[in-house]
């Protein structure tokens, strides 16, 4: 079997251009082919993108919002036509794009199962044979006999994914739709992903969940502003994506220029920060700068589970303060405080900074939290004339995305060493 026969999806020089009009009447003139001097701008949703997906691969596509991820999936699945370029498919595709794609809101769940199966090319008898598997996987009970316009988003995605994954496709294409389902259903879907991989089927999916990208993908493609800027192993491309998020990718080619810029740029300017920060304090001190950086020293909002990372803060003092306490804490997205520490807990003597003094504190540790999103809060507090005083506190000032290829139960990983064997193997 040669390489051409192994290609499941071939994308060649794909370009998608949208015309953006300043006025609605210009759009109407263009549609009716009336008049001249119609003002519009061209927006390249995709710009000369090429890639191959080989049979049996799981390939992820990542990128910032507006990078072209969903557009390329829609063109591959035939929902959109390209402006230029071509797509070749070798195998039967099942796709789960945005909610509603391929479903008739006035049909019942059962009717939509048959509608979607027929569109993909199955006979009624073949759909009959798969119906029970679809119903079992969706697990939405009697709602399957109701019109889907009455469904919650969770029920809708359950049925849509159950149809997409149980009709025995050779190629499965999935957009961000899984983010709607609950955690148990998502786990069920990813187990199905693993079954598909074992069966040698092809999966192409877009996700902002970098943990899933890291765990399931053989290869990852990075899009930015409609262009493919990277392709390779999950770790390599996720590292590139981290630089894109903080605007550092273009700076890596010129080390000297980058180093000079990094010295003149505040750490926090290279982080994604919370625009709705919550802060207060007495005004005796102020957080002047702060960031997180990974084991390579790269400032980032993304940390690999199990690797060392550091939270670094810089505090300027406006009056003399004795033994200020520097603190950092982690919350989950629901607002539950997960963990944290401070210089008092760690028995660190911080001294007596005076007016104009600037102090730096670093908190270095291994990332043991489960994969997911966390919010970081910072504090500088202490005791002044016997009274506990908050000098400056920043709540949920930035997020950290933890990328994990293995999650356990609860908030953090106990990093257990597990041994299983026959009883005689454990005899003394």
More confident call, 182 vs 273: 273
Dmax (CA) for the chain in angstroms is 93
pLDDT digits (tens, 9 = 90+) for 303-330: 988 899 999 999 999 999 999 999 999 9
Structure token pair of residue 131: 């119906």
Beta-bridge mates of residue 313: 290, 361
Average pLDDT of the residues of the chain: 86
Across 104-131, average pLDDT: 88
d(CA 78, CA 266): 46
Is residue 153 scored above 90 in pLDDT? Answer: no
Structure token pair of residue 180: 């709607």
Across 34-41, average pLDDT: 68
More confident call, 246 vs 219: 219
Across 256-281, average pLDDT: 76
Lowest mean pLDDT, pick from 203-207, 257-261, 300-304, 376-380:
257-261
Structure token pair of residue 8: 């499941």
* β-strands 7-21, 84-89 pairing: antiparallel
**How long is the chain?**
428
Lowest mean pLDDT, pick from 173-182, 250-259, 363-372:
250-259
Distances (CA, A) of 144 to 98, 126, 180: 20, 19, 18
Domain 3-244 bears CATH identifier 3.10.290.10: no
**Nearby residues of 236 by Cβ (< 8 Å), 6 or more positions away:** 220, 230
Across 111-124, average pLDDT: 85
- pLDDT, residue 85, reads 95
The structural domains of the chain, with segments of one domain joined by +, span 3-244, 266-403
d(CA 39, CA 22): 7
At the fourth CATH level, which superfamily is domain 266-403?
abc- transporter (atp binding component) like domain (2.70.50.60)
Three-state DSSP string of the chain: CCHHHHEEEEEEEEEEEEEEECCHHHHHHHHHCCCCCCCEEEEEEEEEEEEEEECCCEEEEEECCCCCHHHHHHHHCCCCCCCEEEEEECCCEEEECCCCCCCCCCCEHHHHHHHHHHHHCCCHHHHHHHHHHHHHHHCCHHHHHCEHHHCCHHHHHHHHHHHHHHCCCCEEEECHHHHHCCHHHHHHHHHHHHHHHHCCCEEEEECCCHHHHHHHCCEEEEEECCEEEEEECHHHHHHHHHHHHCCCHHHHHCHHHHHHHHHHCCHHHHCCECCCCEEECCCCEEEEEEEEECCCCCECCEEECCCEEEEEEEEEECCCCCCCEEEEEEEECCCCEEEEEECCCCCCCCCCCCCCCEEEEEEEEECCECCEEEEEEEEEEEEECCEEEEEEEEEEEEEEEEECCCCCCCCECCCCCCCCCCHHHHCC
Of the ranges 39-48, 124-133, 169-178, 240-249, which is most confident? 124-133
- pLDDT, residue 104, reads 87
* β-strands 302-304, 308-317 pairing: unpaired
Across 140-148, average pLDDT: 91
| pTM passes above 0.85 | no
CA distance between the termini of the chain: 53
User: Taking each helix axis from N to C terminus, what angle separates 124-138 and 109-120, rounded to the nearest 10 degrees?
Assistant: 130
- pLDDT, residue 335, reads 87
The model's confidence at residue 117, banded by pLDDT at 50, 70 and 90, is confident
The model's confidence at residue 216, banded by pLDDT at 50, 70 and 90, is confident
Is residue 111 scored above 90 in pLDDT? Answer: yes
d(CA 357, CA 342): 20
The model's confidence at residue 107, banded by pLDDT at 50, 70 and 90, is very high
């Amino acid at each position: 079997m040669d390489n051409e026969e192994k290609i499941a999806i071939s994308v060649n020089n794909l370009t998608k251009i949208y015309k953006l009009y300043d006025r609605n009447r210009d759009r109407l003139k263009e549609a009716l082919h009336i008049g001249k001097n119609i003002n519009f701008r061209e927006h390249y949703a995709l710009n000369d993108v090429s890639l191959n997906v080989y049979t049996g691969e799981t390939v992820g596509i990542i990128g910032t919002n507006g990078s072209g991820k969903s557009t390329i999936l829609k063109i591959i699945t035939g929902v959109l036509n390209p402006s230029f370029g071509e797509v070749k498919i070798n195998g039967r595709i099942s796709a789960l794009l945005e909610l509603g794609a391929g479903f008739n809101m006035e049909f019942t769940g059962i009717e939509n199962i048959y509608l979607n199966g027929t569109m993909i090319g199955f006979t009624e008898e073949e759909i009959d044979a798969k119906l029970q598997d679809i119903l079992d996987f969706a697990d939405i009970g009697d709602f399957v006999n109701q019109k889907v316009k009455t469904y919650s988003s969770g029920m809708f995605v359950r049925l849509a994914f159950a149809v997409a994954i149980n009709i025995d496709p050779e190629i499965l294409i999935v957009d961000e739709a899984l983010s709607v389902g609950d955690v148990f259903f998502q786990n069920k879907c990813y187990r199905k992903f693993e079954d598909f991989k074992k069966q040698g089927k092809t999966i192409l999916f877009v996700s902002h969940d970098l943990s899933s990208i890291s765990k399931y993908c053989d290869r990852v493609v990075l899009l930015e502003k409609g262009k493919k800027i990277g392709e390779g192993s999950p770790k390599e491309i996720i590292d590139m994506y981290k630089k894109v998020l903080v605007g550092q990718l273009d700076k890596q080619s010129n080390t000297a220029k980058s180093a000079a810029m990094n010295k003149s740029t505040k750490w926090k300017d290279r982080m994604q920060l919370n625009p709705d920060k919550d802060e207060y304090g007495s005004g005796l001190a102020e957080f002047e700068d702060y960031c997180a950086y990974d084991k390579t020293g790269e400032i980032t909002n993304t940390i690999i589970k199990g690797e060392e990372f550091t939270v670094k803060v810089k505090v300027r003092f406006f009056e003399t303060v004795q033994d200020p306490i520097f603190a950092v804490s982690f919350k989950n997205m629901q607002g539950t405080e997960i963990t944290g520490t401070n210089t008092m807990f760690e028995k660190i003597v911080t001294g007596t900074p005076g007016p104009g003094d600037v102090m730096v504190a670093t908190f270095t540790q291994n990332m043991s939290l489960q994969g997911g999103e966390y919010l970081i809060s910072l504090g500088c507090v202490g005791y002044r004339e016997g009274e506990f005083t908050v000098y400056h506190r920043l709540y949920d000032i930035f997020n950290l995305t933890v990328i994990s290829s293995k999650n356990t139960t609860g908030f953090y990983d106990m990093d257990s060493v597990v041994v299983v064997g026959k009883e005689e193997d454990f005899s003394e």
